[in-house]
Structure 1
Amino acid sequence: MDFNLDWLLGPDYSKPGNFLLIFSILFAGIFLRYLALAWGYHELVYKKLGDSLPFRRLHQQVRLPQVKKEIWYSFLGGLIFAFAGVVLLILWQSGLTQLYTQLSWWDTFWIPISYFLALFIHETYYYWLHRWMHQPKVLRHFHHIHHNSLYTSSFTSFSFHPIEAGLQAIFLPVLILVLPMHFFVLIALLITMSVTAVINHSGIEVYPEGAQSNSFFRWMVGATHHDQHHLKYRCNYGLYFTFWDVWMKTEDSGFAKRFDEHTREDGNVKVESSVNARM
């Protein structure tokens, strides 16, 4: 089965007019998606469900000035991600990528395999990039922008210095040069990146009590895991999964205890007060 995407690949995006048009469309989609996901999750999950199990707030809401800065840097990052998206389309249009649309019997196996393989590659790239960005000089030059949000919210999810946004944006255009990938997998990866970023920065734990003893959930990064990275800096570098942190012994030793305190049904955990206070 072949999906007709001629409408997407038809224009020559290397021409300035077409480049600017698709860039504007991609930017609008990326930035508006960010605003909708961040605002929606904050309003519906953090504010309305934060006091009811299995959800548990990790800290209080942040002030509006912090959120405004996060939205501004997300705006700048959206420009960079949109540029990377146009580059991806030009590479695809030029026949230089391994991206395809035709489905065969083999894709019954390859689509899930390629999806999880892409996540593993992304996790590996991000973990080591993230550790490098925590070198003092690198942290001081650009990664500190993301860490200015000591207490995070869903709006923190795409708040990066433009250099850091660029280092993240190049991943998918490079990946599709070497990894055969169906168009559906590319879309699934983009959705996964957006949703997990919002959840893990939201300041509210969604994994239930006992998840740390579960053989599957134990390896998933959640809000508590990433929250400790923002609080302590030199631990919990993972993006989707915890295995690199476990293997490289960079997972915070107090993570499991803090997770249990915030998720147990009989817990009476004091919600941490944010230095940025309430939004």
Structure 2
Amino acid sequence: MDFNLEWLLSSDYTEPQYFLLIFFILLSGIFLRYLVLAWIYHEWVYKKLGDAMPYRRLHEQVRLPQVKKEIRYSFLGALIFAFAGVAILIFWQKGISQLYTQLTWWDAIWLPGSFGVALFLHETYYYWLHRWMHRPQVIRHFHHIHHNSLYTSSFTSFSFHPIEAGLQAIFLPVLVLVLPIHFFVLIALLITMSITAVINHAGVEVYSEAALRSPVFRWVVGATHHDMHHHKFRCNYGLYFTFWDVWMKTEDPGFEKRFEQHTQKKDLIKV
């Protein structure tokens, strides 16, 4: 059997048959990635770490009906993220994106540089989008779906109303139109989004007490930081980092105290 995929890479993705083929490939990958990563993290981190260090748990395990609802909304979100993925590939195929595949000596600098720029832009976009979604006249229309999970789990990580999923999904297609990035960087961004979303929603703190004293990890959002957002709504809007919350004075003043309560001095991740 010939496994050469050149025919697929050279096919016009705007044609219905290839559009649908790529769409379902991406949908399967996105949704299965979510299920597998959420399940592994719940079983091997929330349960095992929580059993070994109960103080690291932010709350008790959520109930099955909530998890089922989160999985349903995550599937709807996966449909939208898959559509965005096809759009990115079409932009690349038509030559209107800034995505590239060839590596040069300049990429030794630009690969990490473009990754950092993309994270900063995404953080900035999401922080202000997130604050807007918490306006009283907005939150009741769609963002409340995510906040129905008052006590979060790793399965909450991509549980969004389709409108919110669309607002989040639009970032990457727009990014590749304006920022030159290698496909490796795009993949690294997708991996980072998936892992951090699970870490921040899993209901167990994995960073050590030393994180607050670290010049790097002090600015990283973790489970405690985001859990306080789900409980208090009007604070801690960050996605990956806390700097916008600090700059705009939207970080909860009790964050550090609660973080220390759930970390103590027993390190899981050295920072």
Asked whether the two chains share a fold, i.e. TM above 0.5, the reply is yes
Return the structure number with greater relative CO, CA threshold 8 A, min gap 6. Answer: 1
Task: Find out whether 1:241 has 2:233 as its counterpart.
Answer: no
Cα distance in 1 between the residues matched to 2:157 and 2:30: 13
Question: Who is 1:57 aligned against?
Answer: 57
Please state how far the C-alpha of 1:52 moved relative to its aligned partner. Answer: 3.0
Distance 1:185 1:118 in 2: 9
Match of 1:269 in 2: none
1:53/1:265 contact within 8 Å kept: no
Q: In 1, distance between residues paired with 2:216 and 2:179?
A: 26
Q: How far apart in 1 are the matches of 2:112 and 2:161?
A: 33
- Supply the AA of the counterpart residue of 2:218: R
Cα deviations by residue, 1:200-227 (Å, 9 ceiling, x for unpaired): 0000101101211211111000000000
CA distance in 1, matches of 2:6, 2:183: 13
The number of residues matched between the two structures is 263
TM-score, scaled relative to structure 1: 0.91
Change (3 A) 1:204 1:197: same
Determine the structure 2 residue equivalent to 1:141.
141
- Provide the C-alpha distance between the structure 2 equivalents of 1:23 and 1:211, rounded to a whole number of angstroms: 40
* Contact 2:201–2:227, Cα closer than 8 Å, also in 1: yes
Deviation of 1:32 after TM superposition, in Å, equals 0.4
Deviations 1:129-180 (A, max 9, x none): 0000000111000000000000000000000000000000010010000000
Residue pairs, 1:84-123, within 5 angstroms:
84-123=84-123
Q: Post-superposition shift, 1:8?
A: 5.6
Alignment gaps of 5+ in structure 1: 267-279
- RMSD value over aligned CA atoms? 1.6
Q: Is the 8 A contact 1:73 1:159 kept in 2?
A: yes
Task: Give CA-to-partner distance per residue, 1:21-45, whole Å, 9 cap, x none.
Answer: 1101100000000000000100011
Moved more, 207-216 or 118-127: 207-216
Q: Could you tell me which amino acid in structure 1 is paired with residue 60 of structure 2? A: Q
- Give the conservation status (yes or no) of the 8 Å contact 1:9–1:89: no
Deviation of 1:49 (Å): 1.4
Q: Provide the secondary structure at the position in 1 that maps to 2:51.
A: coil
Which residue matches 1:177? 177
Residue 31 of structure 1 corresponds to which residue in structure 2?
Answer: 31
8 Å contact kept, 1:54–1:207: no
| SS at 1:14 equivalent | coil
The C-alpha deviation readout for 1:225-271, integer Å capped at 9, x for no partner, is 000000000000000000000000000000000001111138xxxxx
Contact 1:154 1:202 in 2 (8 A): yes
Matches within 5 A, 1:180-195: 180-195=180-195
Find the aligned partners of 1:8 and 1:194 in 2 and give their Cα distance. Answer: 26
Any stretches of 5+ residues in structure 2 without a counterpart?
267-271
Say whether the 8 Å CA contact 1:55–1:207 is kept in structure 2.
no
Q: How does 1:41-80 map to 2 (within 5 A)?
A: 41-53=41-53, 56-80=56-80
User: Is 2:5 the partner of 1:16?
Assistant: no
